[in-house]
Structure 1
Amino acid sequence: MRDQVLEHRFVESFPETLEAGVLYISLEYGSAAHSCCCGCGEEVVTPLTPTDWSIIYDGEAVTLHPSVGSWTLPCRSHYVIRRNRVIEAPPWSDSEIEAERRRDRRAKAAHFGVDAPAGSADAVRSAAEAEDLRPESGWKDRLFGWLWRPKS
C-alpha cells in the first residue's frame, strides 16, 4: 500500500480530482471517496448506507467499515481503514468476491423490502439468512477480521 495513513475531510461534495492520502466524507450525499490506497490513482467511492459501509468518527480519526475491496479495478487491492490508518488485507478469490456480491444483493433486498422473483437464486427468506452468506474464509482471514474490526 502506498498510502499508510489517510487524512479525513468532511465535505459537502467531492472535489473533481481526489487528492491522494485523503478520505473525503460527504454526509450530505451519504458517501465517502478516496484515491485507491495502492497508488493506482483510481477513484474509490463507498456509499454510507445500512447495507454498504459505515463510518465511525471518534473526534480524532475515522474508521470505515467493512473493508474496501477494489474488485472491479485492475489493482484488486483490499484494505481496512481503521482510525485513519490503512491496513492491507488478504486478497479474495473470484469465488469469495462472487459470494459477497450475492450476500450483498440479498441483504439489500431484505433491508429495503425488495422481493426477488420467487424461486430465483436471490430470493430472500430472512434478513438473518442474508447475514449468514458471508464467503467462507480460512482461520487467518477470520483472525484478521476479528483483530481489525471496529470497536463498538
Structure 2
Amino acid sequence: MTGASHLRPEFVEFIPDRLEPGVLYISRRYATASHLCCCGCEREVVTPLNPAKWRITERAAKVSLTPSIGNWSFPCRSHYWISANRVQWAPVMALEIIQAVQARDRRDAELYVPKPPSWIRRVFDELAGASSLLLSKLKSWWSQS
C-alpha cells in the first residue's frame, strides 16, 4: 500500500461505486466528497459537506477540504488535511484528544441540525400512539377471526 501525497479533484453528480486512488470525488448536488484513505489502506472516506462537518474551497483549480480528516475508526488511524490538492499529514494524537474532538464534533452536529418545534413532536407522539392502538385492535380482530 502506498499513501497519497496529492488528490486530483473530480466533480461528479454521483460518487462512483469504485473509487480510484488519488482522486477526491466531489458531488455538489449531494453535498458529499469521497476518496480512498490517503494512507493507502484503501478504505473509503466519506465527508458530508455542511457547516457542521466539512467545507470545500476552490482556488486556481485546486481544492481544499476543511477541517482535517481524522480516520480514527480505521485501523490506520490516519489524520491529514487536504489543502490545495495536497495531503498534509497531522501528528499522531493521543486517545484522550481524539475523544474530545469527537465529542466536540457531535455537539456541533447537534447544534447544526435544527430541532422540530414542540407542536410537531406532539403530533408525531399522537400519531405513534394512534398507530399502536390501531395495530393492537387489528391483532385482536385477526386473532378472533
> Which TM-score bucket, shorter chain as reference?
0.7 to 0.9
Q: Which amino acid aligns with 1:95?
A: E
In structure 2, relative to structure 1, the CA distance for the partners of 1:114 and 1:93 (3 Å cut) is farther
Distance 2:45 2:110 in 1: 24
Partner secondary structure for residue 100 of structure 2: helix
Q: How does 1:1-152 map to 2 (within 5 A)?
A: 2-114=3-115
Q: Which amino acid aligns with 2:58?
A: Y
- Per-residue CA deviations over 1:85-121 (Å, capped at 9, x if unaligned) read 0011112221111111111121122222349xxxxxx
Q: Which amino acid aligns with 2:18?
A: T
Q: Which residue of 1 aligns with 2:119?
A: none
Deviation of the 1:81 alpha carbon: 0.4
Poorly superposed stretches of 4+, deviation over 4 Å: none
Partner secondary structure for residue 3 of structure 2: coil
Note the residue ranges of structure 2 that are not aligned, 5 or more in a row: 117-145
- Per-residue CA deviations over 1:4-62 (Å, capped at 9, x if unaligned) read 11110000011111000000001111110001111111100111011000010114100
Identity of aligned residues (%): 47
Distance 2:112 2:36 in 1: 29
Q: What TM-score, normalized to structure 1?
A: 0.72
RMSD of aligned Cα (Å): 1.5
Partner secondary structure for residue 90 of structure 1: coil
Distance 2:85 2:115 in 1: 35
Q: What TM-score, normalized to structure 2?
A: 0.75
Q: Which amino acid aligns with 1:15?
A: P
Structure (1 or 2) with the greater helix fraction: 2
Distance 2:87 2:29 in 1: 25
Max Rg structure = 2
